[in-house]
Amino acid sequence: MKPFENIPQSLLKSYSKLTQKKYRQSERKFLVEGVRLVEEALKSDWEIESIVISNHGLVKEVGTLTNLKINKDVELFSCSEKDFKKLTDTVTSQGIIAIVKMKEYQLKNFWNKPSKRSVIVALDDVADPGNVGTILRTCDWFGVDGVLLSKDTVDVFNPKVVRGTMGAIFHIPIISDVDLVPMIDKGVKDGFKVITTILDGGKPLNKFAFPEKAIIVFGNEARGVSAEIQNLSYDSITIPKYGDAESLNVAISCGIILNSYRA
């Protein structure tokens, strides 16, 4: 492995801007933090521009990286602990961040699924980064064929979301910042059926037969799925309630429904 060079201050400054969505969108790059996630990025076919480590504390951890094939095009930088903090909001950082180029999924491939049985998850204005990260991790467990994130949903390249995905972002096709109505309409034309999830009054999940090609939509934590998406719905499902809680967390609903889809 080539040596880690001191990062130029101008580059550090430009990387630190990637903590903000508008710069991620204009630069088409994002930050991937922590040993495990950087490993996932290295194992994937995503293009890594550089890896930055903190001079402080991480020496042990970097040892694990030397076992991985780091493409020679990846730049390796180190910096002071103070400078490193400009790249992260985590309190106890492992001191390693990769700068990764966004992969642009081809829309024409998104709906054109080879297998007869396919499931796409669509997030309609899901606001909490922890929820979106956990949902993507759950979609990865259940082998979902793709995920769509509406324009109002929190950005998938938000560092907190990236951490929560535990690498899912590198395993499944995810398209963010989507205008959900026309995008879902395309899927419907390709034979998908829209299933929305509602707290109350939908078909009970335990008696529901999923269509072969399903787009399952999860809505905002407080308001649920928007009316315009409900209008596209082929069917609505509800997870039966046996106790007193007013609602289920959206990521929990997603896990329960995907497990039922596969079971």
Does position 127 interact with a second copy (CB under 8 A)? The reply is no
Could you tell me which of 131, 178, 130, 172 has the C-alpha nearest to residue 150? Answer: 178
Which residues between 135 and 154 bind a second copy (CB under 8 A)?
137-144
Contacts of 117 (CB under 8 A, 6+ apart): 212, 213
User: Which residue lies nearer to a second copy by CB, 78 or 236?
Assistant: 236
Provide the Cα torsion 222, 226, 232, 236; round to 10°: 20
User: Which residue lies nearer to a second copy by CB, 102 or 248?
Assistant: 248
Residues 136, 165 contacting (CB under 8 angstroms): yes
User: Which residue lies nearer to a second copy by CB, 19 or 44?
Assistant: 44
State CA 231 to chain mean position distance: 26
Whole-number minimum distance, CB 181 to a second copy, in Å? 27
Cα separation of 239 and 256, whole Å? 8
Phi and psi torsions of 247, nearest 5°: -155, 170
Token pair 């130029």 is at which residue? 8
User: Which residue lies nearer to a second copy by CB, 24 or 171?
Assistant: 171
User: Which residue lies nearer to a second copy by CB, 138 or 196?
Assistant: 138
Contact characters 49-78, a second copy, x per CB under 8 A: ------------------------------
Does position 238 interact with a second copy (CB under 8 A)? The reply is no
Residues 139, 172 contacting (CB under 8 angstroms): yes
User: Which residue lies nearer to a second copy by CB, 72 or 242?
Assistant: 242
In the list 168, 214, 215, 237, the residue contacting a second copy (rule: CB under 8 A) is: 168
Whole-number minimum distance, CB 172 to a second copy, in Å? 7
- Note the helical H segments in 46-120: 59-65, 81-84, 107-110
Using CB atoms within 10 A of its CB, is residue 78 exposed (0-12), middle (13-18) or buried (19+)? buried
Does position 167 interact with a second copy (CB under 8 A)? The reply is yes
Does position 260 interact with a second copy (CB under 8 A)? The reply is yes
In the list 35, 172, 188, 198, the residue contacting a second copy (rule: CB under 8 A) is: 172
The neighbouring-strand residues paired with 197 are 237
Question: How big is the site for a second copy, counted in residues (CB under 8 A)?
Answer: 38
The region of 7-15, 68-76, 80-88, 240-248 touching a second copy under the rule CB under 8 A is: 240-248
Which residues between 202 and 231 bind a second copy (CB under 8 A)?
205-206
User: Which residue lies nearer to a second copy by CB, 159 or 167?
Assistant: 167
Look up residue 259 and give its amino acid.
N
DSSP 175: E
Contacts of 137 (CB under 8 A, 6+ apart): 164, 165, 166, 168
Q: Which residues are near a second copy by CB under 8 A?
A: 130, 134, 137-144, 166-168, 171-172, 205-206, 239-249, 251-256, 259-260, 262-263
